[in-house]
Amino acid sequence: MQRRTFLQGLAAAGVLGCVPFSLAQAASVVGSVSVESLPKLEGDLTLYLGRGEGGLYENVLDAIKKRNPKLNLKIRRGGSAALANTIVAETKAGVKRADLFWAVDTGSIGMVTDSGAAKPLPASITNQLKPGFQYPSWSPVTGRVRTLPYNTERVTPEQIPDSVMALADSDLKIGWAPAYSSFQSFVTAMRVLEGEKATRMWLKGINRNAKKYAGELGVVMGVERGEVDIGFANHYYTLRLKSGKPDANVALAYTNNDAGCLVNASGIVALSDGDLPVNFIRYLLTHEVQSYLAREAYEIPMVQDVAAPEGLASLTSLSPPELDLRKLADLRPTLNMMRDVGVL
């Protein structure tokens, strides 16, 4: 869907009017709601927005503002981790400048919730979310799963181990992006799940046979070109590449019950009380917004009844590890380890 079409769709919803939104009714909703059922947003809001998804989040915000002309939305943009640090510092100083924080990773969300800055969310929001992604003080917006993109001409699926830890001892040539935030969150998950010693040994093993890239899109492109056999990347980089090049020599493999198939999420936190921040979050969980991000960003919708992006294995067929995603906020030991091992 093009940006203009999406904006027109939400604007049309405004023309059709607004059905009053009952919190009691919403609490029993299992799936997503339509933007047409939400109340108008009126008043001042300041959103701290982590950069991400090539401007698609900005398109969503433009649509929300267009439908709600009495909403005065001020946006501060930056890296998710940097904005999280700012919110923590402001909280300690007793200063509140942001009403909402939309981050591209749960590590940054965890920093904010651990600081006590997050406000609790009503059950009418959390009940819309898929099982396993319901949190009392923040809402996932979209998900992404760690995958192993592999070159279909150089590797067969049978050659790929179902344990990410086993790749450190394989003969496969591997592409990775150690400086990329998503990869560092993945290593943090490994450190939490497997322990520091095992993670350190894994990093050393991978580093012996790996090619570095600046980002995970570069990893996937390197895999497709045959520069490496396999790589580490979030799922949507491969799906985006194949959407523009359907015959690309790349496919996705998944590991089993370890950090290699971690399901992470972008998320939003309310930092001030009142209905306005909460109702803003409702817009991000509507059928229209969730469908748009699934279709255009190839991200995983977090509400119950929106289709996942084409080409991705269903979440029910995957075996991600059980992990409180907020633990990914503990990034400093990971960075120290990666520097000590020599991969950063």
Per-residue model confidence as pLDDT tens digits over 50-93 = 875 557 889 999 999 999 999 999 999 988 888 999 999 999 99
What pTM does this model have?
Answer: 0.81
- Measured in degrees and rounded to the nearest 5, phi and psi for residue 301 equal -65, 145
236 is in an annotated binding site: yes
CB 148 within 8 A of CB 260: yes
Residue 47: which of 8, 100, 89 has the closest Cα?
100
pLDDT for 29 equals: 44
Domains of the chain: 3-143+264-316 (3.40.190.10), 145-262+318-341 (3.40.190.10)
Gap between the Cα atoms of 17 and 314, Å rounded: 36
User: What pLDDT shows up at residue 86?
Assistant: 95
Task: Point out which residues pair with 175 in neighbouring strands.
Answer: 211, 231
Q: Give the amino acid at 243.
A: S
Are the beta carbons of 241 and 250 closer than 8 angstroms? yes
- Looking at the predicted structure, is the pLDDT value of residue 262 above 70? yes
Q: In 3D, which of 88, 7, 111, 96 has the Cα closest to residue 45?
A: 96
pLDDT tens digit sequence for 163-176: 999 999 999 999 99
**22 pLDDT tier (thresholds 50, 70, 90):** very low
| Sequential DSSP letters for 252-309 | EE--SSSGGG-EEEEEEEE-S-SHHHHHHHHHHTSHHHHHHHHHHS-PEE-BTTSPPP
- CA dist 109 and 329 (Å) reads 7
Confirm or deny that 237 is annotated as ligand binding.
yes
* pLDDT surpassing 60 at residue 6: no
Overall average pLDDT of the 212-233 stretch: 96
Q: In the numeric block, which tokens belong to residue 95?
A: 């200063």
